[in-house]
């Protein structure tokens, strides 16, 4: 059913682009935030912040927002499609359940990649000399992170009661993970309990992996984080096959 | 006649709620078969078991010679479905939906012809969210028909539509059957069942209580019909009471209601009016409908 997968993905991509707010939130917002925050932090008063570098990596924040935005949008779409009977109608076709859901994930990953490309292009223009990261490797790390967090999104999509709750529940679960991710405070300086919680969240490993690649170390140095993301993916996917509801 | 659907002693419960208690029925090739009953009677559950969408707790089902659960994939290619109150992606265009659906089957009809047949050619590029209720339902019919299925399931197709849109849909369904496709539909609109269906099954609290052609069911359960006319002549009621086909005759001022049954009843009434030279100002006949049959069999109106 490869033909069905491409057709469905293509239709879903077109439908997604036609909704201006959704498109802006998923693609434009992380890039704009990256540019604005980057500017502000780089031009901050010298006596308040060290001039050399911002207190955290704004590019990784942007990348993480891309991942979380994709997940939030996936949760919302699955909830809306379930409530509207769209999932049920698609299941009544010869399409396999896996194809139907893969198309949704595929579209989210594709848009995450578009957003990342915009972020890199903007970064190279606005902050020349800073963006010397291996873009392919970084994109790979972001895709793996997004993939892993998307599987958490499926679990969320399974348990949100109605489409109306999808957005707030998504926000409430996803964005607080940023605080413990190690992006703003190094994980080893957190209280012990918070450290354990941080290690149990995919975002923490996503940040560690992307930070490592940003700093120039290769995948080999961060195989534990990459492995953790894959384990998260496996566990969440297994969980969502048990709890996912089509209607 | 070829049997397209064969169900015996189907049962399905959700927790402690019995959705379908005991349903047995046969549907034959080329007919429009209607499952009628109030909301919550078990119509949709029965239909979903036939489509292989739900696993029945009891009984056996054969659809196009297949077991709907075991042969689900094979069955999906040969049936078309329309779900109750379904939606599509808000911003999907009409042609995109039809194109997507037609890419999923190996043998499909010409989609342009299909859209024209359903009166949707002018809406090809319209987003789903901008369509009227009737247009949405016609699109769902298009999606159900895109692969020339042998059997189509339509669940509460015209609920919520205005009378004109409803009539358009009725014509379309009659055409589907003319094309050789068997139609299995559910409705709680008795007029719809009476107009469309070759045979109906009345379902009440998960049990089938009667199956047959609408006209035959009316004849069987509500044989009595009435002639109502206005005339200033005197002693009208007494005159008609002597006719053998008449059950009752009452007068209310100049309006007279004669009730009776049998093939000859109306003719007999007309003969008597002619014989006695009664001057009649108005004349109409009243026939019972499926609605009356339902009321008689269940003791309540279907919209309760």
Nearest CB among A1, A7, A15 relative to B89 is that of A15
CA A66, A67, A68, A72 torsion-angle sign: positive
Alpha-carbon gap, residue B186 to B276, rounded angstroms: 49
**Same domain? B129 vs B245:** no
**Same domain? B170 vs B272:** no
Alpha-carbon gap, residue B302 to B304, rounded angstroms: 6
A94's tokens: 């010869």
Main-chain dihedrals φ then ψ at residue B259, nearest 5 degrees: -110, 145
| B101 in reach of chain A (CB within 8 A) | yes
Alpha-carbon gap, residue B72 to A92, rounded angstroms: 10
Name the more confident of B139 and A175: B139
Chain B, residues 142-171, CB within 8 A of chain A, namely 143
Q: Which residues in chain A come in under a pLDDT of 50?
A: 46-52
Nearest CB among B90, B104, B127 relative to A93 is that of B104
A172's tokens: 């409430």
Give bridge partners of residue B11 from the DSSP assignment: B58
- Torsion-angle region of A143 (φ positive above 0: left; ψ -120 to 50: alpha; else: beta): alpha
**Same domain? B90 vs B198:** yes
pLDDT of residue A46: 46
Residue B97: CATH number of its domain: 3.40.50.300
Distance of residue A105 Cα from the nearest chain B Cα, in angstroms: 16
**Same domain? B162 vs B273:** no
Model confidence, pTM? 0.87
- C-alpha gyration radius of chain A: 19
Give bridge partners of residue B187 from the DSSP assignment: B36
- Identify the residue whose tokens are 């997940």: A71
Alpha-carbon gap, residue A177 to A170, rounded angstroms: 11
A-chain CB neighbours of B88 within 8 Å are 84, 86, 89
pLDDT of residue B173: 92
Q: Which of B97, B181, B100 is nearest to B131 (CA)?
A: B97
**Same domain? B200 vs B109:** yes
B209's tokens: 């209580």
Structural domain count, chain A: 1
pLDDT digits (tens, 9 = 90+) for B72-123: 999 999 999 999 989 999 999 999 999 999 999 988 999 999 999 889 999 9
**What is the SS3 string spanning chain B?**
CCEEEEEEEEEEEECCEEEEEEEEEEEECCCEEEEECCCCCCHHHHHHHHCCCCCCCEEEEEECCECCCCCHHHHHHHEEEECCCCCCCCCCEHHHHHHHHHCCCCCCCCHHHHHHHCCCHHHCCCEHHHCCHHHHHHHHHHHHHCCCCCEEEEECCCCCCCHHHHHHHHHHHHHHHHCCCEEEEEECCHHHHHHHCCEEEEEECCEEEEEECHHHHHHHHCCCEEEEEEECCCCHHHHHHCCCCEEEEEEECCEEEEEECCCCHHHHHHHHHHHCCCCEEEEEEECCCHHHHHHHHHCCCCCC
**Has residue B106 been placed in a domain?**
yes
**Same domain? B277 vs B238:** yes
Asked whether the beta carbons of A204 and A198 are under 8 A apart, the reply is yes
| A11 in reach of chain B (CB within 8 A) | yes
**Same domain? B112 vs B195:** yes
In our burial notation (b when 16+ CB lie closer than 10 A, e otherwise), range A1-24 reads beebbebbbebbbebbeeeeebee
**Same domain? B214 vs B227:** no
Last residue of a domain, one of B219, B235, B266: B219
Residues 6+ apart with CB under 8 A from B143: A89, B80, B82, B97, B98, B101
B72's tokens: 């689900």
**Has residue B304 been placed in a domain?**
no
pLDDT of residue A131: 61
B-chain CB neighbours of A9 within 8 Å are none
Which of B49, B52, B91 would best serve as a mutation to test chain A binding (most A beta carbons within 10 A)? B91
Residue B230: CATH number of its domain: 3.30.70.920
Distance of residue B263 Cα from the nearest chain A Cα, in angstroms: 48
Quickly count: other Cβ atoms within 10 Å of residue A32's Cβ.
15
Nearest CB among B91, B92, B101 relative to A93 is that of B101
**Has residue B72 been placed in a domain?**
yes
Its domain, for residue B169, covers 3-219
**Same domain? B128 vs B180:** yes
**Same domain? B183 vs B259:** no
Chain B, residues 26-65, CB within 8 A of chain A, namely 51, 53
| A13 in reach of chain B (CB within 8 A) | no
Answer yes or no: do A86 and B86 touch at CB < 8 A: yes
Alpha-carbon gap, residue B76 to B149, rounded angstroms: 9
Quickly count: other Cβ atoms within 10 Å of residue B299's Cβ.
9
Its domain, for residue A94, covers 2-243
Answer yes or no: do A7 and B100 touch at CB < 8 A: yes
**Same domain? B166 vs B272:** no
| B127 in reach of chain A (CB within 8 A) | yes
Answer yes or no: do B85 and A11 touch at CB < 8 A: no
pLDDT digits (tens, 9 = 90+) for B32-65: 999 999 888 999 999 999 999 999 999 999 999 9
pLDDT of residue A207: 93
**Same domain? B130 vs B253:** no
Last residue of a domain, one of B199, B219, B239: B219
Nearest CB among B87, B91, B99 relative to A85 is that of B87
A-chain CB neighbours of B73 within 8 Å are 94
Last residue of a domain, one of B191, B219, B247: B219
Question: For chain B, what is the mean pLDDT?
Answer: 93
**Has residue B300 been placed in a domain?**
no
Structural domain count, chain B: 2
Distance of residue A31 Cα from the nearest chain B Cα, in angstroms: 26
Answer yes or no: do B127 and A18 touch at CB < 8 A: yes
Q: What percent of chain B has pLDDT over 70?
A: 99
Residues 6+ apart with CB under 8 A from B170: B158, B192, B195, B196
| B83 in reach of chain A (CB within 8 A) | yes
CB contacts < 8 A (A, B): 61
């Amino acid at each position: 059913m490869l033909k069905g997968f491409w057709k469905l993905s293509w239709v879903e991509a077109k439908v997604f682009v036609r909704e201006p707010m959704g498109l802006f939130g998923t693609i434009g917002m992380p890039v704009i935030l990256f540019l604005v925050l980057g500017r502000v932090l780089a031009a901050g008063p010298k006596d308040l912040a060290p001039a050399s570098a911002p207190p955290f990596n704004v590019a990784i924040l942007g990348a993480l927002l891309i991942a979380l935005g994709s997940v939030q949008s996936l949760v919302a779409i699955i909830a809306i499609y379930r409530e509207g009977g769209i999932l049920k109608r698609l299941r009544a076709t010869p399409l396999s359940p896996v194809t139907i859901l893969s198309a949704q994930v595929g579209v989210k990953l594709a848009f995450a990649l578009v957003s990342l490309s915009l972020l890199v292009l903007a970064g190279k223009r606005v902050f020349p000399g800073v963006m010397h990261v291996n873009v392919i490797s970084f994109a790979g790390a972001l895709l793996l992170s997004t993939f892993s967090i998307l599987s958490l999104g499926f679990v969320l999509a399974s348990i949100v009661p109605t489409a109306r709750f999808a957005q707030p529940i998504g926000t409430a679960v996803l964005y607080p993970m940023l605080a413990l991710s190690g992006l703003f405070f190094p994980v080893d300086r957190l209280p012990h309990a918070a450290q354990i919680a941080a290690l149990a969240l995919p975002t923490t490993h996503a940040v560690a992996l992307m930070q490592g690649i940003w700093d120039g170390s290769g995948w080999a140095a961060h195989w534990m984080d990459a492995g953790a993301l894959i384990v998260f993916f496996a566990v969440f996917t297994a969980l969502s096959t048990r709890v996912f509801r089509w209607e | 006649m070829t049997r397209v659907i064969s169900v015996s002693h189907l049962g399905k419960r959700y927790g402690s709620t019995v959705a379908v208690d005991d349903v047995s029925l046969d549907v034959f090739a080329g007919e429009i078969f209607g499952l009628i009953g109030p909301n919550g009677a078990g119509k949709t559950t029965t239909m979903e078991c036939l489509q292989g969408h739900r696993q029945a707790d009891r009984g056996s089902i054969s659809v196009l010679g297949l077991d709907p659960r075991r042969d689900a994939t094979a069955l999906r290619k040969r049936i078309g479905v329309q779900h109750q109150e379904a939606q599509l992606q808000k911003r999907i265009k009409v042609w995109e939906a039809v194109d997507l659906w037609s890419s999923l089957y190996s043998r499909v009809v010409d989609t342009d012809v299909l859209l024209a047949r359903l009166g949707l050619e002018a809406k090809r590029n319209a987003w789903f969210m901008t369509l009227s209720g009737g247009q949405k339902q016609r699109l769902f019919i298009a999606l159900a028909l895109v692969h020339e299925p042998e059997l189509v399931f339509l669940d509460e197709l015209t609920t919520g539509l205005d009378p004109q849109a409803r009539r358009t849909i009725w014509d379309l369904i009659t055409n589907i059957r003319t094309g050789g496709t068997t139609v299995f539909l559910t409705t709680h609109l008795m007029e719809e069942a009476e107009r469309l269906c070759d045979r109906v099954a009345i379902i009440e609290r998960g049990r089938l209580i009667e199956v047959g052609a609408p006209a035959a069911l009316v004849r069987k359960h509500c044989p009595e019909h009435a002639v109502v006319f206005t005339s200033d002549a005197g002693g009208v009621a007494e005159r008609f009471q002597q006719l053998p086909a008449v059950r009752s005759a009452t007068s209310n001022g100049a309006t007279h209601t004669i009730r009776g049954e049998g093939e000859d009843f109306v003719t007999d009434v007309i003969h008597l009016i002619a014989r006695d030279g009664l001057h009649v100002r108005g004349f109409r006949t009243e026939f019972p409908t499926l609605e009356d049959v339902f009321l008689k069999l269940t003791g309540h109106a279907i919209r309760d």
